[in-house]
Structure 1
Amino acid sequence: MKSLKTILFATTLTAGFGIFMGTTDAHADSLYTVKTGDTLSTISHQFSGDNSLIDLIAKDNNISNVNMIFEGEQLTIRTADETTQAPTQQTPVAEPVQEVQEQSAPVAQEVAPTATATTSSAKEWIAQKESSGSYNATNGKYIGRYQLDASYLNGDYSEANQERVADSYVAGRYGSWEAAQAFWLANGWY
């Protein structure tokens, strides 16, 4: 009786394995790990050839801010038949700017391709958090009002250069001072 149970069990396992290996699910999802430089736009292009999946990816992965994804984050991407049900609304997204910072960091994407950082309350808030607003503040290799890496300033620590470099850094990395502030609130740095 024991050998009969063993044979039946082995046969059931073999049949189950054969069915498992021989079938495909038309509604399978893909798991994608966000890499440096990725945006929802680039990910959507990889899977559908256009921006049609941006809103669907954000919805499926509970991304509240479609302008910000993080390196190493795992996203579920609908594939096959499910993508045809995706919303057709397309959101223009700027391609990411090459990151200047050396350490691995979250990656931001900007919705408006022509947006630049501007003076705002968020900019002042960051300056107060980083240096109490002082252009002369230093902390190791971080210099000035916005605590920029000294290599970004290229030896010119003037107020005008600190403002120009900070605006450029924030525009390229976050798209706006408000987005940089939101990142700072979530991570304690920008």
Structure 2
Amino acid sequence: MKFNKVALSIACAAGFTVAGAAAANADTVMVKSGDTLSQIADENNTTVSSIQSLNSLQNIHLIFPGQKLVISTNNGDAAASTQQSAQTTQQASQQQTTQQASQQQTTQQASQQQTTQQASQQQTTQQASQQQTTQQASQQQTMQTTQQAVASSSEQAARDWIASRESGGSYTAQNGNYYGKYQLSRAYLGGDYSAENQERVADSYVLNRYGSWANAKAHWLQNGWY
């Protein structure tokens, strides 16, 4: 019996020592009548799960008036934990911001690349269109030149044919009132019998009356004169 009392005394002393140490290193509150764990957590800026863990509570709805609850084991640790949590949140936020910036940059690069490709395609299309237009213009010009050459050749042939029939091609041939290579009326020549004036007056006469030497030749073939 004496041994048991001594052992009990020692255990009680040890318990008080541990409790005192815990109390010295922990923030505690005394449960009052009507208190709830969530209310205590709100009033002390902590959480129900934290109080439950610190006090090894089996049932968070079962607390008693006069009961001491440990709110935090060390203010410095809590502050450090809060700071660490804030740093972790900040790092996560910065990482997310970096990822968003990277995604935005990737999107911008893709957009710029697409814009460059579209501009290149548009430029290629424009160049092809310009080249086609140039080719068409060249073909048209070649055709016109060919037509003009054919027309000029045809006109020259008709002119020479008429001159041959009228005077044998002589600028001094005379037939009464008609004179020169094309046997024009002396009134038309106005007293100037030079070869240059004969060519100039003949062109003017034929173009004004027939529209072309070819038409003048056709008239000559039908009527024997032009």
Category of TM-score, reference length = shorter chain = 0.3 to 0.5
Q: Please, what TM-score do these two structures have when normalized by structure 2?
A: 0.32
Higher fraction of helix: 2
Q: Which has the higher contact order (CA 8 A, sep 6+)?
A: 1
